Amino acid sequence: MDKLDTMRAFLTVVQQGAFTKAADKLAVSPQLVSKYISALEKSLQTRLLHRTTRRLSLTQAGSDYYQRCLQVIADIDEMESRLTEHAQVVSGTLTISAPMSFGTLHLPHLLMDFQQRYPQIKLKITLTDIKVDIVDEGVDVAMRIGQLADSSYICKKVAPINIAIMASPDYLAARGLPKTPAELQHHHYLKYVYSDDAMLFSGFDNMRHTIDFNDNLIANNGELLVNTAILGGGIVIQPTFIAGKALAEGKLVRILQGYEPKPVGLYMVYANRQYLAPKVACFIEFVSQYYSTPPSWDQV
């Protein structure tokens, strides 16, 4: 039996003057309160209460123990209160990892809005398209894009990510509009270095192994590839969060829409679900509610 429970029961019995009143206060049965007191006296090998049918009174040992219990329980309650208050203070440095292009194009507004709500949180942002180990790198939250494999980390999807096949009107006028995925092998392909073409084109009907792309430009940044496509450099396959504005302005045209890769997701990845630091929990909750459906980059 927990010693603190028995001590709290003893204090309540003394303060209420009766087992039944103490039981009501503690929301337990009178029998359990009696059991607590008996267990406490047994462990101390000392009688603490005089019991009669009319009233309860403290023995001398019980009076001394009561005073000590008051101090002990008060100290414990104060300590727990301070720890709880500390856990609820939303402050400190929040370390975030995010993809390069998504970070440069879409994080500034989010981060500014977040800091307006939580001004005591300092933000440390690392932009990289390389998957980092969040524990080894000391990252509180990683924002990642893709179809995430099962892992020991917690993954929370916060927005859909659509992927488009695009080229500029000038490029299509000069090189022709491909009607089927197979025709892409005759075009200039602006390749993102981290993409897995077998996965990227898995939505194409039975074509995943037959396209021999002419990778005349390979880069590790989607914005560079999209901007090159705008200038007529070739066909690019990139998320609409990068290309949405160019598509809305007619600088790029979506092609082969029936064969576009399946949408992926924007996820927040973090190490533990329980005992999250308030700064991490607040950021996760904030981002979870930040993006509309469809997200802003698909509304331009």
226, 268: one domain? no
Calculate mean pLDDT across residues 125-132: 90
69, 120: one domain? no
Mean pLDDT estimate for the chain: 86
Our CA angle for 291, 269, 240, nearest 5°, is: 40
Phi, psi dihedral angles at 188 (to 5 degrees): -75, 130
- In the listed set 64, 88, 112, which residue is the last one of a domain according to the structure? 88
Cα–Cα distance between 39 and 43 in angstroms, integer?
A: 6
Report whether 269 contacts 157 (CB < 8 A): no
Q: Select the highest-mean-pLDDT range: 21-30, 235-244, 291-300.
A: 235-244
pTM for the predicted model, two decimal places: 0.66
Residue 57 sits in a domain whose CATH number is 1.10.10.10
Q: What stretches of 26-153 adopt beta strand conformation (E)?
A: 49-51, 56-58, 92-98, 121-127, 141-146
- Read off the pLDDT of residues 243-255 as tens digits, 9 standing for 90 and up: 999 999 999 999 9
67, 40: one domain? yes
240, 178: one domain? yes
Report how many domains make up the chain. 3
Sheet strands side by side (includes 154-161):
121-127, 92-98, 141-146, 264-270, 154-161
- pLDDT above 70 for 234: yes
198: confidence class by pLDDT, cuts 50, 70, 90: very low
- Read off the pLDDT of residues 38-97 as tens digits, 9 standing for 90 and up: 998 999 999 999 887 778 889 999 999 988 888 888 888 777 766 565 556 688 899 999
43, 182: one domain? no
109, 233: one domain? no
List the domain range (segments joined by +) for residue 213.
Answer: 163-259
- In the listed set 57, 88, 119, which residue is the last one of a domain according to the structure? 88
Residue 291 sits in a domain whose CATH number is 3.40.190.10
Helix then strand then coil, in percent of the chain rounded to 5, is 45, 20, 35
Would you say the C-alpha torsion 289, 295, 299, 300 has a positive or negative sign?
positive
152, 285: one domain? yes
- In the listed set 88, 111, 139, which residue is the last one of a domain according to the structure? 88
Cα–Cα distance between 62 and 258 in angstroms, integer?
A: 83
Q: At which residue do the structure tokens 């037959």 appear? A: 210
- pLDDT above 80 for 98: yes
154, 186: one domain? no
155, 169: one domain? no
137, 282: one domain? yes
61, 199: one domain? no
Structure tokens at 290: 């930040």
157, 283: one domain? yes
